[in-house]
Amino acid sequence: MSIEPQIYQIKITLKGSKPPIWRRVRVSGGITLNVLHDIIQATMGWWDAHLHQFAIGGTSYGMPYPDLGFGVQMEDETQFWLDQVAPREGFKFTYEYDFGDSWYHDLLVERISAPTADLPHPLCLAGRRACPPEDVGGIWGYADFLEAIRDPDHPEHEGYLEWIGDEFDPEAFDLEEANRALRRLAAMGPPITDERILDILDTLGIYTGTYEREAVDAALALRNEITPHLIQILEDVLADPLDFAGDGDYFGHVYALQLLGHFREPRAHEAIVRLARLPGELPFDLFDDTITESLPAIMFATCGGSTDRIAELLTDREVNEYCRSAAARALVYAVVEGVVPRREVVALFGSLFTGDEAPPNSGFWSLLASAVCNLYPEELIDVIRKGYEDGLIGDSYIRYPSFEETLQRGGAHAYQEVRKKIARYMPEDVHARMSWWACFREEEDDEPDNLAASPLNERPASLPAPPLKERPQRKKVKKAGAASRPPKKQKRSR
C-alpha cells in the first residue's frame, strides 16, 4: 500500500533583498525538483527564461546540460524528490536562477505535516513585495534600478521607466495572481483540487478595504468543502504567527476564524484555543478586537460540547488576560446554553480570586468578575466582596453595585441578558457580524443597533489595549504580479 507524501511548508526568500522579497508555499514532499522549480518561478513571478540550479548539501541539481562549461557536475533534477533531498523541518538549501544575474533564493523548510483531505497543494500562502524585473542585473542592478525610477533627476530615470513599461511598484504582491499562476502549471505533482475553493481563498486572503460578501456567500455554499482549508489557514498562522501579525495585507485568517465559528466547527476548536494562547499581544496583533468581542462565542460554538480546553485557557497564568477573559465568557455561554453545569463553572471561577492567578496589578480579576456577574453569583458574593476589599477587582471596570443589581433581578434575567450577548456576537447572518467593521466602512454610525456597547465588551481604563469597535485601517494593496508586468525587454547596457 502506497503512503501519501507529507506536506511541506517552504519559505522562499530572495537572497540579499532589503526589505526581503519572499513567498511561502505549501507543496507535496513527493514532487521532483523540476516541479519545485516551476512552483518557485510561478510564485515569485519570474519568466523561466534562464537556466537554474538547486544547491543542496554540496550537490547541484538542475537540467544536466553537458556544454555549460562551468566545471560543475549537475545531477538531473527530474530524478530527485523534495522529501528525499530535504528530509526534515529547518532544512535549508539554495535555488539559483539566471547564471548571469545570479538570483539566489534561500529555501527554508518551515513545517512538514500530514496531508489533509481535499486541501489544495501547491498553494501560495503568503508573500511580500514584487519580483524584480528580469535581466535587471541581479540584486545590485535591482538596487540601481529602484534608485533611478524613484528619482526623477536620475540620469537613467526616463530610460528605466520606458524599459519597464512606465510603472513598477516594488512593494506590490498579488497573492491571487500567484495562485492563478500555480493553477496554470502543467507539470506538477498532485493537482489542485477545486478551483472554486482557491478562488474563494484568493479573494478572502487579501485585504482591499471592501467586505468580500460574494466570497463569504460562496464559502457558506461550500461549507463542507472549504472547512479543511479554513482550519489549515489557522494552522499556518500558528506555524509562524509573527510573520502573519506583521503582514497587514493578509486577511484570510480573520475570515477563517469567523466562518469556522459560524459553522460551529469542532475540528477548528483546538487551533482556535492555541491561537488564544499565543504570548503577549500576538492575539491582538492577529485578530484585533475580535479577541474581546466574538472570540468567546466562537470558542463556545466550536467546543463540541467539551469545555476542557477553554477552562485550561482560563487558568493559564501565561496567557494574555483578555484571552483568559474570553475563555471565562465562553464558559458563561456554555452554562447558559446547558453545555456544562453551572456549579462546576461557578466553583472554578470562585477558585481564581486568591491573588496568585496573575501578576500584581493585572486586570485579570476585574475581567473575570465581569464574567462572574453574568451567572447570578449568589454563592460567590463574599468572594467578590473580598476581591474588592483586597484591591483585586477595580471599580473602573465593574462596580460592586452591579452584583447587587444582578442578584436583585434574579437568575432568569441574568441568563436572558447572556443569551442576548450570544446572539449579538454569533448572529445567524454572518454578514451582520462582519460587514459593519470599521475596516470595511466609512461611517462609524453604520454599526447595527443591536451591537451597541455592553459591559461585557468594555475595557477598564487601566488596562492597555486597542479600543473596542475599532479595527486598524489596513493599507490597500495595489495588485501587481507576473501577469501584469510589461513584456520582456532586452537587458539594458549599463
CA atoms of 8 and 234, how far apart (whole Å): 16
CB 94 within 8 A of CB 55: yes
* Cα 138-143-147 angle, rounded to 5 deg: 145
CB 271 within 8 A of CB 228: no
CA atoms of 303 and 183, how far apart (whole Å): 36
* Cα 31-198-211 angle, rounded to 5 deg: 145
Pairing relation of β-strands 52-56 and 92-97? antiparallel
Domain ranges for the chain, please list them: 7-190, 268-457
CA atoms of 226 and 238, how far apart (whole Å): 19
Task: State the SS3 of the chain.
Answer: CCCCCCEEEEEEEECCCCCCCEEEEEEECCCEHHHHHHHHHHHHCCCCCCCEEEEECCEEEECCCCCCCCCCCEEEHHHCEHHHHCCCCCCEEEEEECCCCCEEEEEEEEEEECCCCCCCCCEEEEEECCCCCCCCCHHHHHHHHHHHHHCCCCCCHHHHHHHHCCCCCCCCCCHHHHHHHHHHCCCCCCCCCCHHHHHHHHHHHECCCCCCHHHHHHHHHCHHHHHHHHHHHHHHHHHCHHHHHCCCCECHHHHHHHHHHHHCCHHHHHHHHHHHCCCCCHHHHHHHHHCCCCHHHHHHHCCCCCCHHHHHHHHCCCCCHHHHHHHHHHHHHHHHCCCCCHHHHHHHHHCCCCCCCCCCCCCHHHHHHHHHHCCCCHHHHHHHHHHHHCCCCCCCCCCHHHHHHHHHHCHHHHHHHHHHHHHHHCCCCHHHHHCCCHHHCCCHHHCCHHHCCCHHHCCCCCCCCCCCCCCCCCCCCCCCCHHHCCCCCCCCCC
- The reported pLDDT for the residue numbered 69 is 54
- The reported pLDDT for the residue numbered 478 is 27
CA atoms of 411 and 375, how far apart (whole Å): 7
- Mark 221-232 as b/e (b = at least 16 C-beta within 10 Å): eeeeebbbbbbb
Q: Residue ranges of the chain with pLDDT lower than 50? A: 1-2, 186-193, 442-494
- The reported pLDDT for the residue numbered 483 is 27
CATH 3.10.290.30 assigned to 7-190: yes
CA atoms of 313 and 319, how far apart (whole Å): 7
CB 156 within 8 A of CB 143: no
pLDDT tens, residue by residue, 272-296: 999 999 999 999 999 988 998 889 9
- The reported pLDDT for the residue numbered 65 is 67
Report how far apart, in Å, the C-alpha atoms of 160 and of each of 233, 323, 443, 483 are. Answer: 39, 51, 42, 20
All three cell numbers of 44, joined, read: 515569485
CA atoms of 47 and 70, how far apart (whole Å): 23
Report how far apart, in Å, the C-alpha atoms of 334 and of each of 106, 169, 195, 286, 467 are. Answer: 48, 50, 38, 25, 27
Report how far apart, in Å, the C-alpha atoms of 330 and of each of 207, 211, 384 are. Answer: 29, 27, 20
- The sign one gets for the Cα dihedral 5, 10, 15, 17 is positive
Determine the residue type at 297: A
Pairing relation of β-strands 22-28 and 123-128? antiparallel
Find residue 7's DSSP bridge partners: 28, 113
Neighbours of 147 (CB within 10 A): 13
- The reported pLDDT for the residue numbered 430 is 87
pLDDT tens, residue by residue, 324-339: 999 999 999 998 888 9
Looking from the CA of 152 toward its CB, the CA atoms found within 13 Å total 0
CB 253 within 8 A of CB 230: no
* Residue whose cell numbers read 446554553: 337
* Cα 194-232-473 angle, rounded to 5 deg: 100
